[in-house]
Structure 1
Amino acid sequence: QSYMRLCLVTLAVLHTDLTDGSDVTQTPKLWKNEGENATIDCSHTKGPLYFQMYWYRQLPGEGMKQIVFTMSNSKPDYQPDFKEEKFSVTKPDAASGTLTVKDLVAEDKGLYFCAVSEHSDTDSLNR
């Protein structure tokens, strides 16, 4: 059992060209032991049309990578490098969601953040 502490710094942004992200809030810095789970909450006050949520991770010295895209009442869409067994998400309603990083190891230390976007009829064309 390692007692090394892991710091997961979290940041929330709004995925749109129209606002600055101040309407999205997220769990602040987390300190966890290896082997524990870390759950990050994300919520916003943009309204019910902003029901699409993205979770990203940036490890030290690396670029940002999308973990998963999720919507209420829909199966999460994971990127190839990320598995549901390690990164579980909930999306109970349009205004909130969580990401849980399970069974933490030292390599999980990094920046995690959520982004929300407004649904539009052109989303399916851009994804």
Structure 2
Amino acid sequence: LNNASSCCQCLSCLTDESGVTQTDILWKKEGETATIDCSHTKGADYFQMYWYRQLPGETMKLIVFTTTAKTEHDFGKFSTEKFSANKSAAESGTFTVKNLVPEDKGLYFCAVSEHSDTDTCGS
């Protein structure tokens, strides 16, 4: 097809040496759904997962915070009609962008963190 930007969407994802891996790159057609998988080898204490998006020319934004401790995920100002997430295991999760449009093209990545109760100061 001549106009690839209206036909296919590329959702690029980061993978580094931190023990967190995710889908490298997705090519999808407009109107389709894209699901990104994320997993880590840090252990069950790292049960919190964050999904970020950076669109071309924009700053990075947190779309959703997920955790195995809650069934409801925190999407903040983002719509659950556009995005969904699944976090049924501590070491993995998925993030989905629904009904793709050209404006969804960007960099998407997950990050994980360990739950900590050490937010108090000691002497």
Specify if TM > 0.5. Answer: yes
SS at 2:103 equivalent: helix
3-state DSSP of counterpart to 1:111: strand
Answer whether contact 1:89 1:99 (CA < 8 A) is retained: yes
- Matched with 1:28 is 24
TM-score by length of 1: 0.84
What TM-score, normalized to structure 2? Answer: 0.87
RMSD of aligned residue pairs (Cα, Å): 1.6
Aligned partner (choices 106, 112, 118) of residue 116 of structure 1: 112
State the AA in 2 paired with 1:77: D
CA-CA distance at 1:11 after TM superposition: 1.4
TM superposition shift of 1:73: 4.2
Percent identity between matched residues is 67
User: Are the aligned partners of 2:84 and 2:95 in contact in 1 as well (CA < 8 Å)?
Assistant: yes
1:7 is aligned to 10
What is the DSSP-based 3-state SS (H/G/I as helix, E as strand, rest coil) of the residue aligned with 1:107? Answer: helix
- Which sections of structure 2, spanning at least 5 residues, go unmatched? none
Structure 1 residue aligned with 2:61, among 40, 58, 65?
Answer: 65
Moved beyond 3 Å, runs of 4+ = none
Q: Per-residue displacement from partner, 1:1-47 (whole Å, max 9, x unpaired)? A: x961110001146xxxxxxx520000011000000000000000000
Residue deviations 1:23-78 (CA, integer Å, cap 9, x gap): 00000110000000000000000001000000000000000000000101411011
For the 8 Å contact 1:54–1:70, the answer to whether it is kept is: yes
Aligned pairs for 1:96-107 within 5 A: 96-107=92-103
Q: Which runs of 5+ in 1 are unaligned?
A: 14-20
Instruction: Give how far 1:101 is off.
Output: 0.2
2: CA distance between counterparts of 1:49 and 1:66? 21
Greater CA drift, 41-50 or 114-123: 114-123
Larger radius of gyration: 2
Contact 2:15 2:24 in 1 (8 A): no
